[in-house]
Amino acid sequence: MALASTTAPETARPRPSLAGLAFPITIFAVLAALPAIAAFTGEGYLIKLAIRVMIFAIAAVSLDLIVGFGALVSFGHAAFIGLGAYAVGILAASGIGDGFFALAAAIAVSALFAAVTGAICLRTKGVYFIMITLAFGQMAFFTASSLAPYGGDDGLTIASRNTVLGFRLFDNERAFYFIVLAALLGTYALCRALVASRFGRVLRGARENPVRMATLGYDIFRFQLAAYVIAGVLAGVSGFFLANATEFVSPAYMSWQRSGELIVMVILGGVGTLHGAIVGTAAYLLTEEWLSGYTEHWKVIFGPVLVLIVVFARGGLLGLLARIGGGSRG
């Protein structure tokens, strides 16, 4: 069957409207202005908090790519964060502190792990896919815990952040902030471009009706594996920045609890929106920061709130805002 008969002409592709881009543009504009706001108010801790939000937002956006558009609910996504972080930590312990080399290593390790595990996980569907991703995530967690030369359960302290072409650019908190912001913007733009492309349409088609897509001649497995590897690589980049931000790596980065938190961030913001993952990450981490100041058992308070949002605010926070404003999620 000819491809032209099954897909819309190139000129007929829907273009993102200005209204649909308004909210994402606002999000990145606020993030770009935050250092100036922090300097004006004298609240320096805002920079560190925003860096943490953006780092986890990179991982959350990558997870939303496969969950929201491929219906591939991974409960081991945090493993890629840990792999990216350990690539930085192990190289630093070996005396290699070049940022480009560490980033390349983080990408390579994450891509390899995603390709191998994805090729196995994608042979399953539904709850079986969830459980096998959880199993691989826990395998990575226990492997990191057994690395005695690199701290084992206690984790590994990194002596200093990576250099960039020999310059200690990451040591400048504002410069590091904008580098992480650029990485988040690049992640969002890449994922949005993928979703709007033929690749994204096939991925969504496989989510809705895999039998029909296979009948049309598409190799669903290859498309899903490619999406899984891309998501894993982006989460590995998140781990690279996390290791540099904290100057510490730990097996806890790749625990199933962290994977669960990433899923919560995506659901909280709005599944299948991409920028909703950024909103959900900010809402989750800012709520954690606020409630933890009152009690160490803050999750007991946050849990019921999340349940109420899932039950009464379908589409997450973006869905709630859309209904209040009478607009769309974008």
Domain locations in the chain as residue ranges = 43-255
Question: Residue 81: which residues within 8 A CB-CB, separation 6 or more?
Answer: 59, 235, 236, 238, 239, 242, 253, 254, 258
Mean pLDDT across the stretch 11-19? Answer: 47
Residues of the chain with pLDDT > 70, as a percent, come to 92
Whether residue 327 has pLDDT greater than 70: no
pLDDT range class, residue 296, cuts 50, 70, 90 = confident
pLDDT range class, residue 12, cuts 50, 70, 90 = very low
Q: Look at 60-64, 110-114, 211-215, 245-249 and tell me which has the smallest mean pLDDT.
A: 211-215
Element at 226 (helix H, strand E):
helix 220-246
pLDDT range class, residue 328, cuts 50, 70, 90 = very low
Average pLDDT of the chain to the nearest whole number: 88
Mean pLDDT across the stretch 220-248? Answer: 96
Q: At what angle do helices 78-93 and 256-269 cross, to 10 degrees?
A: 130
Longest dimension (CA), the chain: 64
Copy the structure tokens of residue 159: 């002596």
Whether residue 166 has pLDDT greater than 70: yes
The Cα–Cα gap between 14 and 16 comes to: 7
For residue 215, what pLDDT is reported? 86
Residues of the chain with pLDDT > 90, as a percent, come to 65
State pTM to two decimals: 0.90
The Cα–Cα gap between 195 and 199 comes to: 7
pLDDT range class, residue 4, cuts 50, 70, 90 = very low
For residue 138, what pLDDT is reported? 95
For residue 92, what pLDDT is reported? 94
Compute φ and ψ for 228, nearest 5 degrees: -65, -40
Compute φ and ψ for 98, nearest 5 degrees: -70, 130
The Cα–Cα gap between 327 and 325 comes to: 5
| Whether 140 contacts 134, CB under 8 Å | no
Mean pLDDT across the stretch 40-60? Answer: 90
Whether residue 11 has pLDDT greater than 70: no
